[in-house]
Amino acid sequence: MSGGDLAALSLAEAGRLVRDRKLSPIEITDACLAQIERLEPRLNAFITVTADAAKQAAEARSEQIAAGTRSGRLQGLPVAIKDLFDVAGVRMTAGSRILAENVATEDSEVATRLKAAGAVMLGKLNLHEFAFGATGVNPHYGPARNPWDPERMTGGSSSGSGAAVAAGECLAALGTDTGGSIRIPASLCGIVGLKPTYGRVSKRGVLPLSWAFDHIGPMTRTVEDSALLLEVLAGLDPGDPSCVDQPVPDYTRSLNGGVRGLRIGVPRRFFFENVDPEVETAVRAAIKLLGEMGATISEIDAPLIDEIPGALTAIMLPEALAVHQRWLNERSDDYGDDVRYRLELGSTYLAMHYVQAQRLREIVVRAWREEVFSRVDLIATPTTPITARSIEQAGASPESGSGLQVTFSLIRFTNPLNLLGVPAISVPCGFSAEGLPIGLQLAGRWWNEGAVLRAAHAYETATDWHKRRPPLVAAS
């Protein structure tokens, strides 16, 4: 196989080849590093590439395999992580000027688990500054660019993760999701992005944006890869108070159960309002296919859906301000305009607003538990109502209104699920006439990632959207 073909492998495919000794960790790591060298001048997906450390790790994994030693589910497989996670000895910039020279002294819990599973770490990925935005346009490190059209945004905040996975610069990546920051770039870049249940994956060693809504999850080429990564990442971490002690199922083993018998709800309103016609057509066709495959499709109401955005904002913005208060006081000019604008907006909320929003959140969760997830196993919606807009439009100043309009459009269908804390996935379900990816969002009840993954895998297996490669990559 050529280097480009190796870099196009899924995580699971590469893992099987490595286990069968048909592919070495050195070969697959070199292929990804070559792809990074080839494409980075156009894509700007990475902030830091740790090539030397990756090569050393690949050699160590190869020696282990030669000696017959197994180090874990990801032995010798190259991955990259958003530059919001601590990795000992590596810069953690959070996509900011303020932390440009910050070097982590310890591994985050997820980095520890990746290394324990045998993964080879390629480096740190670009993101919207401090993960506080949905476009991925970064004024300090430049925007990550969409492999399907480098003049288009990737979506954010896990922008580099979306671009790198879609372009074959790594086999998989990690992102964070506070209002949609895994699922949005997954949708816009044509890959799979999974936000697990709140508390499923430890956030220790990850710079927070909002303690109430931050999630960590995988961004991959296939649903199987997301299931595999979640098995590695999930589980109790006593060092993270938000991490919950719940059994971690064998997600990969249950993937092939199909959708027969699953009840899928389609919201009557909100989730299909003000949607690009091409997006609605693709998503409704995907839902129809799930029905033809044996799922029971029904319309549902989305209780209190109009109140959710306000409640989420009244919680998230003050929490973000609490994280950034000192830096905002001392180094305000070092923030990008859009992030500074959002942080300053956080100061307009009173403690009363925050408490009321938290109370409303409890009411919303109870309503969805009793009125939605008692009747259906999953809901199906578009991930985003739009496809990738131009970087110029997405990066417009807050005063212009253009950039804000793009941001509000991107988060509209994802952030309600952050307030709920339920697991949700974006899986490719089509392309626009301009050749831009479209994502189907499936969400399930709390702790039931298995049903979400199973339905997404069944749909993926019945289609070939995930097999398409961006023109930029195919031409490289």
Q: Which positions are catalytic?
A: 82, 157, 181
DSSP assignment, residue 119?
A: P
Rounded distance, CA 302 to CA 315, Å?
Answer: 21
The CA-atom distances, in angstroms, between 30 and each of 3, 76, 104 are: 8, 11, 25
- Which of helix, strand or coil describes residue 226? helix
CA dihedral in degrees (16, 17, 19, 20; nearest 10)?
110
325-339 b/e (C-beta count within 10 Å ≥ 16 → b): eebbeeeeebbbebb
Pairing state between β 78-82 and 120-125 = parallel
Is residue 181 within 8 Å of 213, Cβ to Cβ? Answer: no
Pairing state between β 172-177 and 78-82 = parallel
Give the closest residue to 57 by CA, choosing from 82, 35, 30: 30
The CA-atom distances, in angstroms, between 189 and each of 149, 315, 434 are: 10, 29, 13
Is residue 174 within 8 Å of 81, Cβ to Cβ? Answer: yes
Is residue 458 within 8 Å of 466, Cβ to Cβ? Answer: no
The CA-atom distances, in angstroms, between 62 and each of 7, 30, 66, 118 are: 18, 13, 6, 11
Rounded distance, CA 266 to CA 126, Å?
Answer: 34
**Percentages of the chain per state (helix, strand, coil), in multiples of 5:** 45, 15, 40
Give the closest residue to 74 by CA, choosing from 10, 31, 136, 129: 10
Handedness of CA 67, 72, 78, 83 (dihedral sign): negative
Rounded distance, CA 124 to CA 103, Å?
Answer: 12
- Between vectors from CA 182 to CA 140 and to CA 85, what angle results, nearest 5°? 60
The neighbour count for residue 90, using CB atoms within 10 Å, is 19
